[in-house]
Amino acid sequence: MSTLGATQPSLSSPLFSWLAMLHSPAEAVRPEQKRRAGVYDLSRSVQGIGTQRGASAATSIVITASASRAMTIRPLRYLNAVVPHIYVEGAAKAVAFYAEAFGAEEVLRIATPDGRIIHSELAICNATVMLGDPTSRLYDEPRQLGACTAGLHLMVDDNAAVLARAVAAGCEQIQAPTDMFYGANSASVRDPFGHVWVLLTWKEDLSPAEMERRGNAALREADKARL
């Protein structure tokens, strides 16, 4: 990735490699896990990563782990998921919007003197989303592209409540809560920056074979309805 200038770190710089390493301590990222009805219930999570006020640059990033409420249950295959890194022109405004729409909490922020965000991390519904301003041709926001190339899936206890909050904050509803063949109830919204958020409340942890069976059956029913 390109840098923002001679004095600004790029997202591929050693700084961000070091930040990534901060996520690896066993105390921080290996919470106690309990197997329950085919899903994991995480009873501990990373509480905060941030800049310690008054600390020197060499010791300014701190990470702590503390007890929190149980994470929303999810199928085992989604326990360790890919962490999305999304881009918004004017990312600082997006951070404020996601706090209103989803109750997001900003965990850390690295920004240029003019306020452009190089790297921010948000805790949203027991998940982590990385966020920043576009810094090169490699990345842009959906509003500029005219579409998004990925949906952001959040697993929540009550997707109807999350949907209502997001719409009240200014998101566009795409799908009302709907029971899906793969064992979850799904709803979705598009935020003002063009990103699509899929809100899932899990009900059944189905095997891949059962998901295929139900999915194919649903397709057949849809084909019949079109005839």
Q: Is the pLDDT of residue 91 over 80?
A: yes
Q: Is the pLDDT of residue 63 over 60?
A: no
Instruction: With beta carbons less than 8 A apart as the criterion, state whether 86 and 123 touch.
Output: no
Q: Which of 23-27, 36-40, 62-66, 73-77 has the highest mean predicted lDDT (pLDDT)?
A: 73-77
State pLDDT tens for residues 172-206: 999 999 999 999 999 999 999 999 999 999 999 88
More confident residue, 57 or 191: 191
Can you spell out the DSSP letters for 52-109?
PTT--GGG-EEEEEEE-PPPPPEEGGGSS-PPPEEE-TTHHHHHHHHHHHH--EEEEE
State pLDDT tens for residues 114-154: 999 999 999 999 899 999 999 878 888 898 888 988 999 99
State pLDDT tens for residues 3-52: 343 344 444 444 444 344 333 333 333 333 333 333 333 333 333 333 33
Amino acid sitting at position 42: L
pLDDT at residue 137, as a whole number: 80
pLDDT band at residue 72 using 50, 70 and 90 as cut-offs? low
Instruction: With beta carbons less than 8 A apart as the criterion, state whether 201 and 185 touch.
Output: yes
The model's pTM? 0.68
Query: How confident is the model over 216-220, as a mean pLDDT?
Result: 94
Query: How confident is the model over 160-168, as a mean pLDDT?
Result: 98
More confident residue, 43 or 219: 219
Query: How confident is the model over 98-110, as a mean pLDDT?
Result: 97
Strand arrangement of the beta sheet that strand 172-179 belongs to: 151-155, 196-202, 184-190, 172-179
Q: Is the pLDDT of residue 61 over 60?
A: no
Q: Is the pLDDT of residue 84 over 80?
A: yes
Fold of 14-226: 2,3-Dihydroxybiphenyl 1,2-Dioxygenase; domain 1 (3.10.180)
Q: Which of 150, 212, 204 is nearest to 179 (CA)?
A: 204
Q: Is the pLDDT of residue 169 over 70?
A: yes
